[in-house]
Amino acid sequence: MSASLDNTLDPMEEIRFRKKHGANWLEIQKDTHFTFNELEHIMVIFFKIQKRDERCPGTDLITRNHFRDVLHNGLGMTDAYMMERVMVALDRGTSPHVTMATFAKAMSLYLRGDLEERIAYAFTCYDLLGEGQLRRETMYQLMKKSIAKASRDDDVEEAVKELVDIMLKRMDPDLDGVINFQDFHDSVLKTPSLLESLGYCFPERPAVFAFIATWCPVWGKM
């Protein structure tokens, strides 16, 4: 067991936490882009959140609300509507809690995720009905919320309709009126800027760098 990873924690308390869950982290690591040492730092962040979460004492869980706080305050993801979609994409269940595994996979996606992972995640965020395809109505709803938030103009109907038409022309090669996963996948591979075309579901790069510098400053030294 290496030295304490966070000097704001009681060293013995941290060591007990790492000893208790370390074996499980070996399995969790396999589904992330982290080394084991990096994952330990991520799990210490989880532990610090858990210590403030009075509803999850002695478990390997934190509440979704506390996880949203991490995304909002730590990674600058402030769109409340899209946050609901993010939670669905990260954890398909209806539990009000987030597990260590889900937390680690989410951090891996946001901090180290490759394009294939990001495409699959973004599509799930946008697939409001869970049908495996994006209909015109779904695209309209997503884009309207995104534009309405950024625009002071109350009348955004026509602008949204035009954008949806443009998106369908760009991403619906078989002209069947819907964008399935393969359509979305191929379009983003060809034009990566289309990844978040229906709403911002990832932290911006400056926020990612700031998060790592604040919470995992030793990563570059390991």
What is the rounded average pLDDT of the residues 101-123? 97
Whether the pTM exceeds 0.85: the reply is yes
**pLDDT at residue 209 greater than cutoff 50:** yes
- Looking at domain 116-194, its CATH class is mainly alpha
Residue 164, CA distances (Å) to 35, 87, 129, 136 in order: 41, 25, 18, 7
Torsion angles phi and psi, residue 8, rounded to 5: -90, -5
What is the rounded average pLDDT of the residues 33-37? 95
Report domain extents, the chain: 11-113+204-221, 116-194
